[in-house]
Amino acid sequence: MLPLVIGATALGAASFAGYHSMAWRSQLYGRTFVGIPGQGRKLALTYDDGPNDPDTLLLLDVLARHNVKATFFLIGKFVEQRPDIVHKIADAGHAIGNHTYSHPNLLFSPDAELRKQLASCANALEKIGHSLSSDGTRLFRPPWGARRPATLRIARELGYTPVMWTVTCYDWKKTTADRVERHALNQIIGGDVILMHDGGYHQMGTDRRHTVEATDRIIGKYKAEGFEFVTVPEMMKSKA
């Protein structure tokens, strides 16, 4: 009986650890910014996996039309491919975060690989004249949200604030603008960091038209209800 008990305990511990390595709001492995859920009427739109052609450019048009600033977590290899899009993101006043160089699963990556991924993405941005620092804040979002204690510890050692989210729109897969919008509406309560994707980590040109259209709708709806859209660094300041 004892081996069965030990086995069940080990399995339970592994399941517990696995859950918290991926759970959006979990703080078990260290401090991670997830917004200020349930507090106030600020919302932070965030976009992963860009820059992407053409949908990042279309998204920038939507944000400009609504006079909204967002936060873009960029992949270094795409920064190198399309520096012109990165310039447009930065010139429009949006915040930029580090989403690694090639989007590996950091849950299974050695510490040295994490350091290399963060440095390579930062270097790609610096080569085209952009810094990851926004008002003294350097942002990092792990691909898929996957992390372990060392992931967050190393990121903080390198001066990054890890950022997760409270609202996910499931726009990383083939879907529709209606579904993306519905996911957002079902979760937003105020003080949220909203996860969406303007690109796909496999290649440039991933179709994210559903995200662009849903963004237009979400901003229109919540602005009409008196919500304010801010960047992640701005939301961090409001929490301080």
Asked if residues 85 and 56 have their Cβ atoms less than 8 Å apart, the reply is yes
Kindly name the residue from 99, 103, 183, 197 that is annotated as catalytic.
197
Kindly name the residue from 48, 49, 55, 192 that is annotated as catalytic.
48
Can you read off the two tokens belonging to residue 77?
């290899």
DSSP three-state, residue 223 = helix
Can you read off the two tokens belonging to residue 147?
């992390």
Place of tokens 């290899």: 77
DSSP three-state, residue 217 = helix
**Alpha carbon distance 37, 192 (integer Å):** 5
**Alpha carbon distance 210, 175 (integer Å):** 7
Q: How many CB atoms lie within 10 A of CB 33?
A: 20
Catalytic: 130?
no
Listed in sequence order, the residues at least 6 apart from 6 whose beta carbon sits closer than 8 Å to its beta carbon are none
Catalytic: 202?
no
Asked if residues 121 and 79 have their Cβ atoms less than 8 Å apart, the reply is yes
- Among all residues, which ones are annotated catalytic? 48, 197
